[in-house]
Structure 1
Amino acid sequence: MEGREPELRLFDSSEELDSCLADYVYQISESAVNERGSFSLVISGGDMANRLGKLTRPPFLKTVDWSKWHVFWAEENVVPDKRHPDSFYRQAAEAFISKVPIMPTHVVSVRHGVPGESAANGYEFSIRQQVRRRTVPVSPFSDCPRFDLVLLNLGNNCHVASLYPNHPVLEEDSQWVACVSSDASRESVTLTLPVINAAANVAIVASGNDVARSFSHVMMEPKADEPYPAQLVGPKDGKLVWFVDAAAASLFLHGHGTSAT
């Protein structure tokens, strides 16, 4: 991994993880607003929006400066419309965005109802507009956007966002957004590794028994010629923090003879 050494935060339960993750997001948002006057948050699919539920309740609901928040997606399924059950936009809107006063114009989503390549190109254009408006600064090391915080989930095959093992998208170095197929029936749009690694902060959540083997692989196996996607996440001039519950860390902790705290 490039940049600083990642920080590993272990929790006894998923509930404890969620609580500390919400605190972490709040702290970074406050720092970004104080430093630059805005905060850019990139969320993933799955249960990530549900994990931010604590932010929709007191005291955060009143103390967060929601007018300064700008929300983006690390990935989105290519589906007919935003009301589709598999739409990550819908999931985030229902669990999080609709419950806090984020300005609708500050929610930058992937277009639905168009072919995957068109959705990817349109989303990259939208992000570039935000960079031109200086809502999102540019990385000092590339032309990539420097998001304040990217939230990722670790998948059960060591993937993050929609970056899957041995996929050509892992080599992408010019596009900010790409369209990928995880199987013959499903396309998705994803941020590429250069964009993720240009962020100021990246957090990867590993939760549950189903990702225990993946987490152990990522942490304990050396990077091979074809490394796991999660092993390729390492902000060049930022910080990576892992949020891991005891179930996900079980094999890793067994191998190290330690326990969650």
Structure 2
Amino acid sequence: MAHSGVNNDRGELRIHENLDELKTDLADYIAEVSEAAVKERGVFAVALSGGSLISLMGKLCEAPYNKTVDWSKWHIFWADERLVPKNHSDSNYKLAKDGLFSKVPIVPSHVHSINDSVSAEEAADGYMFVIRQLVKTRLVSVSDVSDCPKFDLILLGMGPDGHVASLFPNHSALKETNEWISLITDSSTPPPERITFTLPVINSASNVAIVATGEIKAEAVHLAINNVEPDRPSLPAQLVQPAQGKLVWFLDKQAASKLDGFRISE
């Protein structure tokens, strides 16, 4: 069996025997969500994060997905970005460009990246402006419960500390309720300056996927999904709770190894 799928109040858990199966299932999932959005709205607005996520999406560049996905309808955003030049090795844009959309026929003007030639504040304001304009034209949907943008899909990795996007444990950005974008100047991992979607935007999406692999993530996965210590401050990943959308976790068996009742069908 490729994976075990379990639904609980923390979303759908898809637990995979190995990385190859996870990558295939993730590509299938993204292709399905893309197809449904294009059918319904004529476009697919997807927000990416950095880290290992892009390499785990790599099968999208291979057959059959490179031909069957309607790449011309994709509009790409970033759930978070490091405020470095676009050709810098820390840039999430560079990671995604090199690993994904230089290999498939995505329309260059549909890639909504951060302006890397202005100050951090101006970059955050400029990105917010772009998203506001695209919400006005309904290229990005709008949530009917929060007035936030409603992305078709937000893809997130998760750090060993339970951070998602650039929302770190105990950071004041977790309490943001009005703004769509937070400027982070003191990231606990370098580089220090980043912009990130806020929780209201993440939780307004139609679909959110959190992808976590490896034993180093097992404790954070356990805390985020099993919700075991009510007195402990919530991990950022625990606070991902789409109001009207669907949350799916893509895990390998190492990342899932500390989950309550964990087992995988052979």
**Secondary structure of the equivalent of 1:71?**
strand
Deviates more, 1:203-212 or 1:53-62: 53-62
> Tell me, what secondary structure is at the counterpart of 1:96?
helix
Residue 77 (1) aligns with residue 66 (2):
no
Are 1:217 and 2:233 counterparts? no
1:7-65 alpha-carbon deviations (Å, 9 max, x no partner): 11100112211110010000000000001111011110012222221111221111111
Once the two structures are overlaid, the 10-residue window that deviates more, 70-79 or 181-190, is 181-190
Return the TM-score normalized by structure 2: 0.91
> 1:10 touches 1:260 (CA, 8 Å); kept in 2?
no
- Counterpart of 2:219, as a letter, is R
Stretches of structure 2 that go unaligned for 5 or more consecutive residues are: 1-8
Counterparts of 1:221-260 in structure 2 under 5 Å? 221-224=228-231, 226-252=233-259, 255-256=260-261, 258-259=263-264
Q: Distance in 2 between matches of 1:112 and 1:212?
A: 35
After superposition, give the CA deviation of every residue in 1:232-253 in whole Å (9 maximum; x if it has no partner): 001101100000101111122x
Q: Which has the higher contact order (CA 8 A, sep 6+)?
A: 1
Structure 1 gaps, min length 5: none
| Distance across 1 between alignment mates of 2:264 and 2:37 | 33
The answer to whether structure 1 residue 90 and structure 2 residue 97 are counterparts is no
Instruction: Give the aligned residue type for 1:173.
Output: T
In the TM superposition, what whole-angstrom CA distance separates every residue of 1:48-103 from its partner, at most 9, and x where no partner exists? Answer: 22222111122111111111110000111111x10011000001000001111111
Q: 2:205 aligns with which of 199, 202, 211?
A: 199
Q: Is the 8 A contact 2:82 2:191 kept in 1?
A: no
Contact 2:10/2:225 (<8 A) preserved: no
Question: What does 1:1-261 correspond to in 2, within 5 Å?
Answer: 5-79=10-84, 81-180=85-184, 181-183=186-188, 186-220=192-226, 221-224=228-231, 226-252=233-259, 255-256=260-261, 258-259=263-264
Q: Which amino acid aligns with 2:126?
A: G
How far 1:142 moved relative to its partner?
1.5
In terms of fraction of residues, the more helix-rich structure is: 1
TM-aligned CA deviation for residue 117 of structure 1: 2.1
Which amino acid is 2:165 matched to?
A: A
Describe the superposition over 1:159-209 as per-residue Cα deviations: whole angstroms up to 9, x where unpaired: 100000111100101111111121386111100000000000000011011
- Report the Cα distance in structure 2 between the residues aligned to 1:55 and 1:177, rounded to whole angstroms: 28
User: Deviation at 1:113?
Assistant: 3.5
RMSD over aligned Cα atoms: 1.6
CA shift for structure 1 position 258: 2.4
3-state SS of 1:46 partner: coil
TM-score by structure 1 length? 0.93
* Number of residues of Structure 1 aligned to a counterpart in Structure 2: 255
